[in-house]
Structure 1
Amino acid sequence: MRQRKYFAIFLSLIGGALLLIANVEPTSEANAAKSKLNVKNLEVDEFFKNHDGTFVLRDMKNEKTFVYNNERANQQFAPQSTFKVPNSLIGLQVGAVKDEYHIKYWDGVERELAVWNQDHTLGSAMRNSVVWYYQAMARDIGGNRMEKWVQDISYGNEDISGGIDQFWLSSSLKISPKEQAEFMETLYKENLPFDKDIMKTVKRIMIQKEGDHYTLYGKTGQGSGLGWYVGFIETENQAYSFAANIAGTSTDAKNITMGILKKYYLMTE
């Protein structure tokens, strides 16, 4: 009887220990993940072994900015197709397009990507980065209105002199990675001078990936040996804007961003 009693006590102690471990481990992991961002500089050298580049991560809740390669982060570059984000906001605000379902019809000209050679809505043009759609919308917006809005939102150097359907494509308009991250933060917080429903629409068509605990919003840009990936990520209790800029492709910039977000536990499955 005494042996049975001791054995029962032993099992009870083992069960309690296992329960304690089960309760402690997730907390420890969560704390470890949280502490990853309590640094002065991003520790992301491994992601830039094959690329000259920069990465800006903005903690929008605590108003902290983490930067890899500060010199490049402050240098202005052509926004390329990342300008599709402000272009969408402006186009919707002035009525150049009605909503995310507004169709523009393909002109029959064969372009380099097969997916471009068809009719598109604003939403599909954003997802597939359809240059001709946004060029047509920019022409509908017009030079005067475009210039006013680019100035109103303080977008980069605000220079659209390179032509109404070319100024963002390796041309006159320039913006730095830090400015990109700041612009994305302002969009996320809906503090831009656009109607609220318009900002919500543009954020919706920027969604790239959704997990159980996060939603990733972003836009690529590429041209003249330059790759961009900009946007923001929203988790259950955090939100960060970001900008990756590299000497390379937009695919590389996006892959680098995803790797960094996973390293810092912002993207989890």
Structure 2
Amino acid sequence: MDTNLKQEEADQGNKPQTEPLDISNMQVDKYFPHNKGTFVMRDMLTNQTFIHNEERARKPQPPESTFKIVNALIGLQVGVVQDEYEVKRWDGVKRSRGEWNKDHTLGSAMRASAVWYYQAMARDIGKERMQEWLNKLNYGNKDISAGIDTFWLNSSLQISPLEEMEFLSRLVQEKLPFDNKHMKTVKRMLIQEEGDNYTLFGKTGTRNNPPAGWFVGFVESNYHTYVFAANIDGQGTVAPQKIKDLATDILKEYRIIEPNK
């Protein structure tokens, strides 16, 4: 084969997806041994939806730290924080993750998943306003009965992966009942990585008992947008990086984001 032709084929293999992906042809079973997880994805251009393990995809469970997306939107909308740069002072209590043990902004606390910052903001929002906004959003079962600063942490609030995908789809389209500037701010805070032709947005969430992990988000490219939610069981603690890697490996396989070179 001509050397130039070989190079062209190799280059094609490294290019991101440029045509709408036929989601019906996806195969992700190998990423979920023993079917202990789910992956759902929507092509926002065609509105086609892929579901791996529909039973798990419809099963409500605590959103864990993926709820920081909602918490940030509500906090900005009701004015308990003004922007992504608003600082909350660390209370001096040493917590399990070293990066939490310092002052944080709304944005840095999202990226570090600093629970204490968002717990403090939830208390500032208060029960009445928090309930009002979850009702407006129809977010999961809308149950905050376990306490204003704990209800999303392996507790009363429950949402399914398919519901998470629906919520994120409305965020992408900026069709949630928030000011557009606040939705744009939160989306900016969710940026995980950027390539030549795409931007990956996402948020992890994990729990220890029983161990499970989330990675939810969306990919915007020059051509179209995909929204996704991944959720897996784990042996021991599910590290946030593990569930993120699993989801991004799927996105790389189907050239939705660029594979590592």
Residue type of the alignment partner of 2:99? V
Q: Secondary structure at the match of 1:197?
A: helix
Shift of 1:263: 0.6
Among 61, 72, 78, the alignment partner of 1:94 is 78
Among 247, 251, 257, the alignment partner of 1:261 is 251
1:121-160 mapped onto 2 (5 Å cutoff)? 121-160=105-144
Among 221, 239, 247, the alignment partner of 2:225 is 239
Q: Determine the C-alpha separation between the residues in 2 that align with 1:137 and 1:76.
A: 25
Q: Secondary structure at the match of 1:174?
A: coil
Q: Determine the C-alpha separation between the residues in 2 that align with 1:191 and 1:46.
A: 35
* Residue 5 of structure 1: aligned partner: none
Runs of 4+ residues deviating >4 angstroms: 21-36
Q: Determine the C-alpha separation between the residues in 2 that align with 1:216 and 1:99.
A: 22
Residue type of the alignment partner of 1:266? I
Shift of 1:24: 7.8
Q: Determine the C-alpha separation between the residues in 2 that align with 1:23 and 1:258.
A: 26
Q: Which moved more, 1:36-45 or 1:188-197?
A: 36-45
The 1:102/1:241 distance shift into structure 2, 3 A limit, reads same
Q: Secondary structure at the match of 1:126?
A: helix
* Residue 3 of structure 1: aligned partner: none
Shift of 1:120: 0.3
* Residue 49 of structure 2: aligned partner: 65
Among 194, 204, 212, the alignment partner of 1:220 is 204
The 1:32/1:108 distance shift into structure 2, 3 A limit, reads closer
Q: Determine the C-alpha separation between the residues in 2 that align with 1:214 and 1:32.
A: 8
Gaps of 5+ in 1: 1-16
Among 162, 170, 177, the alignment partner of 1:178 is 162
* Residue 119 of structure 1: aligned partner: 103
Q: Deviations over 1:96-134 (max 9, x none)?
A: 111000000001111111111100000000000000000
Does 1:84 find its partner at 2:102? no
Q: What is the TM-score normalised by the length of structure 1?
A: 0.87
Q: Deviations over 1:6-59 (max 9, x none)?
A: xxxxxxxxxxx988x599858976999568932426301111127710000111
* Kept in 1: contact 2:20–2:45 (CA 8 A): no
Q: Secondary structure at the match of 2:24?
A: coil
Gaps of 5+ in 2: none
Does 1:192 find its partner at 2:182? no
Shift of 1:222: 0.5
Q: Secondary structure at the match of 2:201?
A: strand
Q: Determine the C-alpha separation between the residues in 1 that align with 2:252 and 2:15.
A: 16
Q: Determine the C-alpha separation between the residues in 1 that align with 2:14 and 2:37.
A: 30
Q: Determine the C-alpha separation between the residues in 2 that align with 1:37 and 1:76.
A: 28
Residue type of the alignment partner of 1:255? D
Q: Determine the C-alpha separation between the residues in 2 that align with 1:28 and 1:106.
A: 49
* Kept in 2: contact 1:57–1:241 (CA 8 A): yes
Q: Determine the C-alpha separation between the residues in 2 that align with 1:68 and 1:55.
A: 5
* Kept in 1: contact 2:18–2:223 (CA 8 A): no
* Residue 11 of structure 1: aligned partner: none
| Corresponding pairs, count | 252
The 1:99/1:39 distance shift into structure 2, 3 A limit, reads closer
Q: Determine the C-alpha separation between the residues in 1 that align with 2:34 and 2:19.
A: 28
* Kept in 1: contact 2:143–2:156 (CA 8 A): yes
> Aligned Cα RMSD in Å?
2.4
1:17-36 mapped onto 2 (5 Å cutoff)? 21=5, 25=9
Does 1:252 find its partner at 2:242? yes
